Amino acid sequence: ETGVTQSPTHLIKTRGQQVTLRCSSQSGHNTVSWYQQALGQGPQFIFQYYREEENGRGNFPPRFSGLQFPNYSSELNVNALELDDSALYLCASSLKLAGDTDTQYFGPGTRLTVL
Amino acid sequence: AQSVTQLDSQVPVFEEAPVELRCNYSSSVSVYLFWYVQYPNQGLQLLLKYLSGSTLVKGINGFEAEFNKSQTSFHLRKPSVHISDTAEYFCAVIMVGNSGYALNFGKGTSLLVTP
């Protein structure tokens, strides 16, 4: 059973640029959630995708967008990067079943630095 | 609205001593509770979770936590810590509703175990 993987590991961008982060979910999982973890803080929920549809969104602006593919992998896209977007971006996958609470398993994260 | 408070930002402890990391939450509805651990430059690993049933939950690496509904707490304990337990520990609550099954994290507690 493979775990959650993310790419790239590290990324450096400049203000105003766009970035795409990728996540492969754990085998058998159908849900992907993305979190932003600023330095010294707990992770903050960005959004969740279930069966290729956005299933919930945190307090992040529309320039944060995502996709989930038929194989349940996912992308996080951030447009018009700002300095405050510098953070560790974590992807978590889970198996959502009707009436059940799914446990989320995290990948190692992508460290984004915006200069 | 829900929030999670981790009362201690840092907890220093000697090897083989017991430790308790405190977590309190506020919520107007029933909750699901989690503890995650994050080692330096890594993602989050699930230690344990409370969904229902027995209020004493046992997790990996000898950790346990007790759900106390009246005190809205979910403190993490270990009777004897090792150097390898040095890490950041996050308490999290599931939000059910508009944001799907999003984890709401505390700010974390840094556990430092010294010889």
pLDDT above 90: residue B3:
no
B85: left (phi over 0), alpha (psi -120 to 50) or beta: alpha
List the single residue in A with minimal CA-CA distance to B42.
A108
pLDDT in tens, A13-43: 999 999 999 999 988 888 999 999 999 899 9
Strands A10-13 vs A110-114: parallel, antiparallel or unpaired = parallel
Per cent of chain A over pLDDT 70 is: 94
Interface check A66 vs B, CB under 8 A: no
Interface check B44 vs A, CB under 8 A: yes
Structure tokens at B109: 């507690």
List the single residue in B with minimal CA-CA distance to A95.
B101
Chain A CB contacts of B53 under 8 Å are none
pLDDT in tens, A80-112: 999 999 999 999 998 877 655 678 899 999 999
Q: Which of B45, B101, B106 sits opposite A42 (nearest CB)?
A: B106
| Calpha distance A66→A54 (Å, rounded) | 8
pLDDT band with cut points at 50, 70 and 90 for residue B40: confident
